[in-house]
Amino acid sequence: MTKGFVILFIDAFSHDYINREDTPFLSSRHVCALTPVFGFKQLAAAFTGLDPLSTGLFAEHYYDPDHSPYKWRSMLSRPLLSTLEVLAGMPIDAISSWVSQFRRLTFKLAPPGMSRYFSIDDSPFPDQTMVSLLLKEKGLSHRFVLFPEVKTNAAAFDLLKALSNSDRRPDFLLVHFPELDPITHEQGTRSNQRRKAVREIDSMIAEATEMLREDSYVLVFSDHGMLDVEGHIDVTRKIRPLGHPGDDFVVFLDSIMARFWVFEDSVSEKIIRLFNGETSGTVILPKKQDMIDRFGHIIFLCSPGYTIFPNHYDLRPPKAMHGYAPIPQNSSLDGIFLASDLPTTLTKERLSMTDVAPILKQAIESL
């Protein structure tokens, strides 16, 4: 019988977490360090072999006022929007919650007057990738089980066990273990909660590997690790002297990036000059026009260990974060890659996320 292919996709598992006490199974295997690419959609890089800025899957929110699910907010007058922002967005959040009952929306913390400029792309990878096209070409059944279909590691593991004991398991299966990411954001990398979660994941990987070894090739990888946060940058306060956002520019505040779309050249110069003087970050000027229009004319990127707060995602300052660039060598931001029994050859000690696609391609072609 031909073997199947199972990927255990472990969210936010750092290569630094591997040690004999916490991860007896992983520490007994040859686990490569896996360096993430710049951006928040690592599976896009793993399935395409391209960096997220090339695929257009770089960040969840992008500039598209004509198709924004928040467009209805443009009907509100500026004085009303200003009042709502002073009230910390509470009424608008109540309206957003009500609307989201009828439309599948991810309402974040962007100010009411700003959110109407943005659309949402919460897909982890493009519909057409090298991996998905190859699976279709070979006629292999496949399934990608991701958050929110599974919300906890226990739910992911239970689903994996159920599928492994039935005739419903596809030829190619990816199961997402999502829980370590929010735990580390909220508690930090040195917390007991993070360490407990890592121990549980190591046990799950060991059990899954034993359970599947007769009829499946098993691959384990994570999208990134994390760094504990050293400090925060208040971009909202810094840009206040530039004027009212929405006229000369708009901005979206990710946890580690301030992305600006600017409509006045003089304002561009002011933004660049302002953030060139910030020692805990750097200014990036994207060069590819379609990516500029989508993700920002100017990007201020925090240095590793710093975050932007307040931002449009976090109610409280995170204790650990990821998504930085460039990734320091031998950094705790590195994820993991384990493929000890795959029908492919690994010659590197350290891989980039874009290296995963050709490895998957070679393995799928052997099925």
Residue 233's DSSP bridge partners are 308
Question: Residue 17: which CATH number?
Answer: 3.40.720.10
Answer yes or no: do 197 and 270 share one domain.
no
Give the pLDDT confidence score for residue 290 in this predicted structure: 81
Answer yes or no: do 81 and 166 share one domain.
no
Answer yes or no: do 150 and 215 share one domain.
yes
Any domain includes 44: yes
In this prediction, residue 73 has a pLDDT band, given cuts at 50, 70 and 90, of: low
In this prediction, residue 179 has a pLDDT band, given cuts at 50, 70 and 90, of: very high
CA distance 144 to 129: 13
In this prediction, residue 347 has a pLDDT band, given cuts at 50, 70 and 90, of: low
In this prediction, residue 74 has a pLDDT band, given cuts at 50, 70 and 90, of: low
Answer yes or no: do 157 and 173 share one domain.
yes
The amino acid present at 254, given as its one-letter code, is: D
Answer yes or no: do 22 and 132 share one domain.
yes
Any domain includes 334: yes
**Mean of all residue pLDDT scores within the chain:** 86
Answer yes or no: do 281 and 250 share one domain.
yes
Read off the pLDDT of residues 272-320 as tens digits, 9 standing for 90 and up: 999 998 999 999 998 888 888 999 999 999 999 999 999 998 888 999 9
Read off the pLDDT of residues 236-282 as tens digits, 9 standing for 90 and up: 999 989 877 778 899 999 999 999 999 988 899 999 999 998 999 99
pLDDT > 70 in the chain, percent: 86
Q: Is 28 exposed, middle or buried (0-12, 13-18, 19+ CB in 10 A)?
A: exposed
Q: Smallest Cα–Cα separation from 24: which of 153, 191, 198?
A: 198
Q: What is the pTM of this model?
A: 0.89
Answer yes or no: do 132 and 235 share one domain.
no
Give the pLDDT confidence score for residue 89 in this predicted structure: 44
Residue 283 belongs to domain spanning: 230-317
Domain count, the chain: 3
Distances (CA, A) of 361 to 46, 92, 141, 144, 365: 11, 46, 15, 16, 6
Answer yes or no: do 278 and 302 share one domain.
yes
Mean of the pLDDT values across residues 191-211? Answer: 97
Any domain includes 14: yes
Answer yes or no: do 111 and 188 share one domain.
no
The whole-angstrom distance between residue 23's C-alpha and the CA centroid of its chain comes to 24
More confidently predicted of 68 and 328: 68
Any domain includes 61: no
Q: Is 166 exposed, middle or buried (0-12, 13-18, 19+ CB in 10 A)?
A: exposed
Any domain includes 322: no
